[in-house]
Chain A
Amino acid sequence: MINRFFIKLLEFYKKHISAGLNTRCKYTPTCSCYAIDALKKHNFFYAALLIIYRLLRCNPFSSGGIDRVPDKRADVKWLI
């Protein structure tokens, strides 16, 4: 439910806002696509964690590249 709402919000952002900001994500898939994927694959809280971690990685000093949403939530199990 909440995930679907945020996906709608992100789709709106992708369509109407991000294109005008003239910036492109250094990762493939882009941060917003990653966020949508994460919300589809995982529950809201884990997805939020993944998204925040991804946004922090997407800074000018990281190398970028291909980075997909993990299918299993093993890595940060201790956090939740």
Chain B
Amino acid sequence: MSGELRPAHDVARGLEREAAPVGGVGSAPSTRRGSAAALSQDSRLAIEIRGLVESGRDDEARDRFGELVAMHQHRASRIAYQYLRDAADADEAVQDAFVKVFTHIGSYREAWPFEVWFTRILINGCLDRRKARSRRDRWTVGAEISSADEARVSAAGAPNDPEQRLLARERRARMAAAIDRLDGRQRLVFMLCHYGDCTPREVSAMTGLNESTVRVHLFRAARKLRGLLGGKP
């Protein structure tokens, strides 16, 4: 099963986060993850929405769900884009995942951190899309990056210097190609840990892999990428 996720009911396994202080290691990497309190906030919100839906207060539930969307939307889009490498596809995958979450909010359990539950749904959707695309690509020639995406990237934050822009584009294409060369599981673990800010324990809960196996996959993926990219991205 390359990159397959397991059913939702298996996610409820010891996932209590132990937010420990970062050790004093030289220049520590920038911590992008929200605090434990933020995580519990989204889980609490999800429980509240579930209660509202169950009591028939759908309008109120929808309003509250908007907050949940705003909380996870950016991270979800980043993961989906890194996985699908197409902004329109990623956009749809994120939308589908949120709609699915709202539709199945009744099956959400307190024991599961919402982030893990949601990411699992999102990744499953992305995997389905990748499969569908690979089937489609057998018959058609796909573009590496859609022209609309390219135009948007050029128009937005990319440097004004055309040479810089070209270099950035080449660098990103090289990175994407290198990530694409990773084995299915390695890619999944790397995406979730590196771009999705998931801990190996959370990835273990999402994928059903042993936590130490997740660590090994993560290490191998990062080392392989380093080799493929010559030590620099």
Our verdict on whether A and B bind, yes or no, reads no
Q: Which residues of B contact A (CB under 8 A)?
A: none
